[in-house]
Amino acid sequence: MPKQELLDYIKTQRSIGVTEEQIVAALKKAGYDDLEIQEHISHKGSRPSTRKLSFELKHLLFLNILIIVLFVAVAIYFSYDFHKSLNAESARSDASIEALRNDLINQNAVLTDRISNSEKDWLAELEKLRKESRDEDKALRSTIANADSASKERDATLASSIQDISSQSSAKLDQLSKDLDTFKSEQVDFSKIAPKAMHSVVTIGYVDSSGVFQSDGSGAIISRDGFVLTNYHVVDELRNIVVNVDDNKYQADMVGKNTTWDLALLKMKTDDKFVPFYWADSDKLYVGQPVIAIGNPVGLEASVTQGIISSKRRYIDDNPDIPYIQTDVAINPGNSGGPLIDKDGKIVGILTMKYTGSGIEGLGFAIASNDAKRVANELKLHPAS
């Protein structure tokens, strides 16, 4: 005899979607045997009522229809409100367009008036310009007539001047001939001067830890007993100064320095006698005078370059109180402290610097011989200066 409570359990489980295998497993776990489980599962009282399931479906269908009706009602409401807003916005747009149209009409009227007034002004200005042009034409004709009269007077004056120039041409030709002779005399052959001067030019540097002499700059011997004049910036960082004269190395002391003029006086530690330079009078220099420089650019000893005096007194920003000699002689690192020499083999200046940069050529500077000589004598008399 089937048990009602077991039938109700199976029916409830089936109504909520539990599979038959899950129900059988649950009943076995509860202690029911296979025969009893099969009897209750196959009994019609364990199956859910189709009438009740049909009622639930109808209830769910009704709810769905009700939701759809509500959604349609809400959509109709919002659609009405949207169309109402759209109509109001359309009315506002029509009003704006009408206002803009009226504004354009007004502006067009104003612009038409302005064009009409401008045309009148232009015509008046054009007539004014025509009148001024006629007046200027009259004035120009009068000026041309006066110029023609003046031209005739100038022609007479010019003819007189040509006659005067003709009478003077002979004297000028004589002067040009003399100037040409002077120019030819200045075409100096330095090939005989340079070899002698090289014995009075020194290389200044130091001996490194490997015993190799390293060049820092140049100098000029200015006395037989071994005084050498050079730039201060050549020796300012040297601890042990070495002077190379004709491949002979001598230790040297700095007797004195003048940082304003960038000059230093050295004395070689030897009793040997040397061939010194003589000083030229830099006040007698002239622009265009040929000169040579002898020094040791980039370590190339006894290099000679030739040029001219470009300016006798050149003041530059680096040292505005010193009048430098400007020259187009080729100067390179290592020439500093070396002599600038004239056709007589005398010092006209001590090379000290050059301008460098893109597009810059032939801008070298030297301390004039009269200034260099004066500073060297002061350093001899007052070594501590």
CATH number at 269 reads: 2.40.10.120
What's the pLDDT score for residue 349? Answer: 97
What is the value of pTM for the model shown? 0.53
Work out how many domains the chain is built from and give that number. Answer: 2
- What pLDDT score does 49 carry? 59
Residue 217 resides in a domain: yes
What is residue 253's predicted lDDT score, i.e. its pLDDT? 95
Structural domain includes residue 163:
no
Q: What pLDDT was estimated at residue 187? A: 64
Q: Within a domain: residue 28?
A: yes
Residue 142 lies in a domain: no
For residue 12, what are the domain limits? 4-48
59 in a structural domain:
no
Tell me whether residue 284 is in a domain.
yes
Q: Which regions of the chain are under pLDDT 70?
A: 1-2, 44-57, 162, 165-166, 169-170, 172-187, 384-385
* 33 lies in some domain: yes
234 is a domain residue: yes
Last residue of a domain, one of 48, 66, 81: 48
Is the CB of residue 226 less than 8 Å from the CB of residue 257?
Answer: no
> What is the model's pLDDT at position 53?
47
Residue closest to 214 by CA, chosen among 336, 295, 140, 299 = 299
